[in-house]
Amino acid sequence: MAISNENLSRANEPLTPISMKPPPAKRRKLTGRALYESLGSPKMILAPMVDQSEFAWRILTRSFMDPERPKDLLAYTPMFHARMFTETTKFRDHHFQPTKSGLASCPKSEDHLTDLYLDGRPEIDRPLFVQFCANSPDELLEAARYVEPFCDAVDLNLGCPQGIARRGNYGAFLQEDWDLIYRLINKLHTNLDVPVTAKMRILESKEKTLDYAKMILSAGASIITVHGRQREQKGHKTGLADWSVLRYLRANLPPDTVLFANGNILQHNDISRCLEETGADGVMSAEGNLHDPTIFAKPPPVGHEGREYWRGRDGKGGYRMDAIFRRYMDILYKYVLEKPAPPRIPLFLPSDPLFDVPQTITNGDAKDKASDQPPAKRQKRDDRPTSPNLLAMQPHLFDFLRPLITKHTNIRDALARSRAGDMSAYENVLQMVEAAIKEGLLDYASDPAKYEDTAIPDADEQAANLDEDESSVATVKARRRPWWVCQPYVRPLPKEALENGSLTLSKKERKKLEEVRAGKSEREELDEEDGMERKEVVREAMVAG
């Protein structure tokens, strides 16, 4: 039986022969605000993530949106390396699969698109931006020509802070070379049939960030996405994004500039909060989406939860992990493997009549079943699937099942043994997840107080924005839900990483930190002296009066 949700039920409908449909008419190129409005003015944006914003994940995320408003979500592909994309057919066809015949040559026009497959399918995967990293305008243009018939814009990555970007001279490590960035963007702006956009990070000051953004816009970028962290903020040094810089950009850029904000999005309510505080047109989520693919979706009204959404007696809730897992699997069956999904029994609810409760394996049985199996042999390199959608399954499941597999380590171990493309292994993990959640729901029904902590305020009751002085532990507690519900992953703040020893500083960094602390202590001492002087003046005035 298919899950009743309208979006998921589509996954079990007969496949539509795309090749029988007439090709779309050639589009007129729009830029800036006109482009944004033509896309439906989306407020929510699924970020470009290397190897993790692939077609199936985008469709899963889109499936939780209001079916009456499909354009509320704009999605980006993973970041592609422009030079590798142009030089290697295998790389291109393994990472971007808009047609079944592949992209051996650049499509000359949309009139030839008669065998659409996955990426950029007009009826399910749009609006869509394709992102590249590059340091050669000619290579970037050549790569962009392959994808322009299948997307709404091409995006230049100016934000990647990783070591590989430093070695390859791309991403955030181009931000000192404004001339090159201008030429990269302008090359696409003047030669492509679709618009160009860019994703950047903030610089060391608001003023320099503003000048940087103005340069990017002057080169021809129609939309800029601004990550509110500097290049150095990564790993244990990630810290919090600075929304005040985004507000400064909004106030000082031309009013018709389309600006997307990125950073600090842990749950759905943070989206509206970010829109209000930054004045941005839309809000992008990356890590928040990986740990909760439903982050852009509004919760259903009370009393309309169905079997996919769980809500506790305190009103807190979220989408169940087994429901999301099922959707994900069914999307892979339908679109990537192009075969029917196995029959699904309804998800378990404690309110089901006893004679109607699905007979699934228990958590213990699942553990025995998994442990009785011999360790899976590593597949030969030539036998591994090439589809990015199958290769990304295990990382995605580790991300959004994190709270569950932390508690149920046998499921974690079974997931770790599951090889890319082995759908039967993932079906077994799904059964184990369903059995574990069934136990959890029954336990909650028998003793709800065990899962509630009235001493911890809800995240919505906290300050509108995160504060550098706030503990990440407190943030986790405020946003915590039972382990069967998707929830955000909160990184420790840099000061906490320093305290627990997971972050060490270089001599240069330690010296800088000491200077900052010394300056802060000096300011505090002066403030204290100034306060004492003011008190003495007031006291003398009172005596004189």
Report, as residue numbers or ranges, the catalytic residues.
160
- Hunting for tokens 């300011």 — which residue is that? 523
Chain mean position to CA 116: 26
**CA–CA dist 419, 399 (Å, integer):** 16
Burial of 302 (0-12, 13-18, 19+ CB in 10 A): exposed
Name the nearest CA neighbour of 320 among 289, 344, 340, 349. Answer: 349
- The answer to whether the peptide bond before residue 127 is cis (omega within 30 degrees of 0) is yes
Of 19, 3, 22, 23, give the one whose Cα is nearest residue 11. 3
CA 15: distance to chain centroid?
A: 28
**If you count them, how many residues does the chain have?**
545
For residues 465 and 480, give the distance between their C-alpha atoms in angstroms, rounded to a whole number.
17
DSSP-assigned letters across all residues of 489-523: --PPPHHHHHHHTS----HHHHHHHHHHHHHHHHH
The answer to whether 429 and 400 have CB atoms below 8 angstroms apart is no
Angstrom distance (rounded) from CA 463 to CA 474: 12
What DSSP state is assigned to residue 469?
T
For residue 522, with 0-12 CB atoms within 10 Å meaning exposed, 13-18 middle and 19 or more buried, which class applies?
Answer: exposed
Chain mean position to CA 357: 35
Which two three-digit tokens encode residue 195?
A: 């618009």
Q: Are 170 and 160 in contact (CB under 8 A)?
A: yes
DSSP H or E stretch at residue 35 = helix 32-38
Helix (H, G, I), strand (E, B) or coil at 99: strand
The answer to whether residues 278 and 244 touch, using CB atoms and an 8 Å cutoff, is no
Say what the alpha-carbon torsion angle 241, 243, 244, 247 is, to the nearest 10 degrees. 150
CA-based nearest residue to 338, from 3, 11, 63: 11
Give the H or E element holding residue 390.
helix 388-391
Taking a C-beta distance cutoff of 8 angstroms, is the pair 335, 59 a contact? yes
CA distance linking residue 459 with residue 77, whole number of Å: 31
How far apart are alpha carbons 308 and 212 in whole angstroms? 45
